[in-house]
Structure 1
Amino acid sequence: MSNAPYGVAVSVDPLVRRVLAPNATPFTGTGTQTHLVGRDTLAIIDPGPDDDAHLAALLRAIGDTPVAAIMVTHTHRDHSPLARRLAERVEAPVVGCAPLALDDLGPRADAAFDDSYAPDRVLADGERIDGDGWTLEAVATPGHTSNHLAFALPQAGALFSGDHVMGWSTTIVSPPDGDMAAYMASLQKLFEREDDRIYFPAHGDVVENPRRLVRGLLGHRKQREGQILRLLRDDVAAVPAMVARMYAGIDQRMWPAAERSVLAHLIDLRQRGLAVEEGDAWRAA
């Protein structure tokens, strides 16, 4: 997994640099990566947590280069809170996903939503922002959150995948805002995008064979769904008991997050008529 020093702009493509925020946790890996796109004018993607050291690092990396837009993939607190402070310093608009005010029911350190996020412009699927030598196109990818966007950079054959596809772990889908059916549909949408040769995720390493990874993520979720259905048939009815069986070899600090994704699977199965919810328990339909 990427282990670049905090606060240093690292080139990952002739048009792209990244700066790692100092917010490493079991949920964020080594931290959140802010990407700087362009040369003579810049777009800043996912400014990150409201952290003074990270703001100073971004201002050093930007220098005197004009900033066309500060772009946000989604509004979890490790991605968007620094947007407004940075926008005021570099005199650029905040552009990207829609705002979202929702109390997350899951015990995830990275999943609290940023209720201060107020974009100057919300991008719909397919809308573009242009700079000097670059174009960024919004690609709607709901699932991890309902407002999640990825951004395609056709000049590099690249996609900034936010948290929808990460370079170190599978993403968490946490109801009520996280939606497994939407997540799977978004993965399929990305798999069908044949021109994206590389992904720059917000967490972890650059993804150099993205369609292979996305195919694997689709298969992984189908495998988890199959495990859940088998457990239901074996009368394992409670989500914590399912997680203890399914994630026995995983760090138990991650089990609360795994419970959120298992719940998302169960809700999807219920909507498809394959599972029934009975209070805190579930059974096969």
Structure 2
Amino acid sequence: MPVVQTPADPRTSWDLPAPGELPRTAALEPLVTRVLAPNPSPMTLDGTNTYLVGAPGAGQAVLVDPGPDDHAHLAAVEAALADRGARCVAVLVTHHHGDHAEAALPWGAHFGAPVAAADQRVAGPGGRVLAPGERLGLAGTTLDVVPTPGHTADHLAFRLESGAVLVGDHVLGRGTSVVTHPEGDVLAYLESLRRVHDLGPSALYCGHGPELTEDPGAVLDFYLAHRAMREEQLLAALAEGPRTVDELVATVYAAVPREVWPAAAQSTRATLVKLLAEGRVEGRLDGPVRRA
């Protein structure tokens, strides 16, 4: 397969915590405390990042992405709330995946706090469905609801008064995000990356991995370039003849651990859907695909 130039990841030169070294609880800025859930894996990295957001001294906090319904994680969140002198007044969820949303309804009931998300199934029968562009006045501060579909159709981000953006799985602290198939959409994902870029974020607080504060715009540029690279790699592989999705993954992701190949296959399918729609390839996802 012809060599496709790999874009440089700006984070490689940053002083970021090594995998497994993220602190369990960390104050990221006056508005935000991060609590790391104990669910590390190749897909969740160090674990799910749960965020507490609220103005100092407000006595209230918003819980964003509670993560797994885990007793030890709940205890750590309650300890972080106590350190802030705050009670939970709302639970917000970036998207429906269980590593972000599982605890939303039980913890909302536990704290007596309403749950809000883009999907009614996540928010629950008594919850609130968030609309793109809403401004939420909560816990002495405001959070802007930013639509970021792509990773999933219901994905949201939340922009804080400080300029930081809670990006869920739209951007990860390490590596790149998966565009799931069939619920993910590469075209929507690229548009969402540009939308977050246009916000000029002061920091990206990711669903997994460390916070990105040094040059968030450079990371978003890298994500866009990385997606373009994957397209070129697929087209280069197909230039050598028809390939199935599994054969493409084995070629394009040969240097990636096999344990993440199933996720790579999802992103590959999602990218092929885009290329099929553009007429650059032809065939079917359940069979060989060829260059058009």
- Normalising to structure 1: TM-score of the pair? 0.89
Q: Distance in 2 between matches of 1:46 and 1:206?
A: 15
Moved more, 116-125 or 258-267: 116-125
Per the alignment, residue 164 of structure 2 pairs with 158
Q: Deviations over 1:160-213 (max 9, x none)?
A: 00000111121111111011111111111112222x111111101111111110
1:141 to 148, 152, 162: 148
Q: Is the 8 A contact 1:162 1:202 kept in 2?
A: yes
CA distance in 1, matches of 2:125, 2:267: 28
**1:30 equivalenced with 2:46 (yes/no):** yes
2:81 aligns to what? 62
Given that residues 55 and 82 in structure 1 are in contact (C-alpha distance below 8 angstroms), is that contact kept between their aligned partners in structure 2?
no
Q: How does 1:72-221 map to 2 (within 5 A)?
A: 72-99=93-120, 120-154=127-161, 156-194=162-200, 196-208=201-213, 209-221=215-227
1:75 and 1:4, CA in 2 relative to 1: closer, same or farther beyond 3 A?
same
Deviation at 1:255, TM superposition (A): 1.1
Equivalent AA in structure 1 for residue 248 of structure 2? M
Q: Deviations over 1:138-166 (max 9, x none)?
A: 10000000000000002x11100000011
1:20 maps to what in 2? 36
How far apart, CA to CA, are the structure 1 residues paired with 2:114 and 2:218? Answer: 35
Alignment length (residue pairs):
267
Compared CA separation, residues 81 and 239, structure 1 to 2 (3 A): same
Question: Residue deviations 1:199-251, cap 9 Å, x none?
Answer: 11110111111111000110010011011112112114111111111111111
Task: Tell me if structure 2 keeps the 8 A contact 1:34–1:44.
Answer: yes
Kindly state the Cα deviation for residue 66 of structure 1 after the two structures are TM-superposed. Answer: 2.8
Structure 1 counterpart of 2:211, which letter? V
Aligned equivalents of 1:197, 1:137: Cα separation in 2 = 15
Please say if residues 22 and 210 of structure 2, whose CA atoms lie closer than 8 Å, have aligned partners that are also in contact: no
Please tell me whether the aligned partners of residues 237 and 252 of structure 2 are also in contact (alpha carbons under 8 angstroms).
Answer: no
For the structure 1 residues 167 and 73, does the alpha-carbon distance in structure 2 shift closer, same or farther, using more than 3 Å as the test?
same
Match of 1:276 among 275, 278, 282: 282
**In structure 2, how many angstroms separate the alpha carbons of the residues matched to 1:26 and 1:173?**
16
* Partner residue in 2 for 1:4: 22
Aligned to 1:263: 269
Decide whether aligned partners of structure 1 residues 45 and 238 sit closer, same or farther in structure 2, where only a CA change above 3 A counts: same
TM-score of the pair, normalised by structure 2: 0.87
Q: 1:223 and 2:229 equivalent?
A: yes
Kept in 1: contact 2:68–2:100 (CA 8 A): yes
CA contact (8 A) 1:150 1:159 kept: yes
1:119 CA drift (Å) = 6.2
Distance 2:173 2:279 in 1: 33
Q: Which deviates more, 117-126 or 89-98?
A: 117-126
Answer whether contact 1:46 1:80 (CA < 8 A) is retained: yes
| Deviant stretches of 4+, over 4 Å | 116-119
State the shift of 1:133 in Å. 3.3
Same amino acid, percent of matched pairs: 39
Contact kept? 1:18, 1:34, Cα under 8 Å:
yes
Residue identity opposite 2:46 in structure 1: T
